[in-house]
Structure 1
């Protein structure tokens, strides 16, 4: 009767050894795909800084022309080149996404660490406030901020960053409190290490991998939020081109000139999908239980 349990050990180990390489290969593949998709968008944005097929204000093209050598993606209803708008839209998406994630990281990590080290009453107060903010959708909070500040590139970054900072703060608090319960942190405090030393030497190095993955996912959310704000007319104003406004302007002519809606839609999907693949690949490398055994 004891043969079954004794045999399960080698079988379990063999299964784990077989699954680990497959999981490692999957993580490597998703990371490569993510890097390719994000890299294409980044290169497009960098290229737009030094070269554009046509200025954004150039309306010399025919209205709603289809793709042809002079205009590879065609033109919009004003005769502007769609490829030029798409390239500038990549720059806007990356600028808003990167700026919003940076702002969310600074505010969120600061508030999260403050809550983790605070007295119970302050921790409860901050946690309750964060829960209230998280209960509101990111886009709704961003719309409220933009309505107060006015539509601009900075307003979009500020609005999206503030909306996402609560999620980062909550995650930071949870991770930091988990690290603070470890024995090596207790030993460091006993030996006289101050709060700043504990944060720099023990807390941040241990929570950084998870935070990086979370911030990568937040970048995708920021890109979608920026496109939504631009679609509603609350994003970066003209002459800046954004993928969301391209979709809004093309919705009335989607049947006669579908490229105007398809091109920015594919660009948004590619960037968000690439960031998610990148985050998934980073998670496989950051999580010790997902790493491939060597």
Structure 2
């Protein structure tokens, strides 16, 4: 039996596949199509979710398919039951599974034993579905061809920024990220982003200076300083990230009218001020909406139904 295709990391998508998925997502947003009747998606979540759960359920409904949410207390992934056993059992019931968990090694082990496609719905290391929704949103506001357009991320070198820079550099964007010294992207992500930028004709800059990153940028993105599972570090992080707040003074260094981005939930008054969050150029809720269509495209692609999508 042929091994299924998974989406565990943004680095697994070629630039051509990324563009193809964005085109599929745009087509599905223009005209939802019920191309997966009778198919089932399991949502296996160990981390709390608002947007991820709702957007996956709505995406599957638009595709004519069904969704099943599995409460972490019922599954006990790796505790109540071995990861490999859960993966093999669920594959007997449904057609595809989205896993939202902690370490990347958990989802990688799950995928090794799964005979159906596995989607990374968030791990501590990556968030590929969010990155696709972000790029879909930027295409809606900057144009379909993102080559040469500039995007700055200010904040933690976390799962969101990792997937974002890998995806954006693959499309030839001018990508910059500013993080405090102890919170920069992992080395493999820096190398991957640099390689993708070089191959696509884009540029990539990693710096500790938020002004340098934001200067002239057409879009400026931030995320929470303290992610799920890091609550004990919250007070320390507030100190370390104090100079990295997305406020009007920092945004003033960006291109006039620069778009403001955040993956949510936001801690207003910490990583972003309320006036910037609510600014007329904020596209934050467009990002949230586009999770539905990006994920619909991923599901259709992994299940081999993408050719049935009409433009």
Query: Shorter-chain TM-score: which interval?
Result: under 0.3
Task: State the TM-score, normalizing by the size of structure 1.
Answer: 0.25
Normalised by the size of structure 2, how large is the TM-score? 0.24
Higher relative contact order (CA 8 A, sep 6+): 1
Larger helix proportion of the pair = 1
**Which protein is bigger by CA-based radius of gyration?**
1
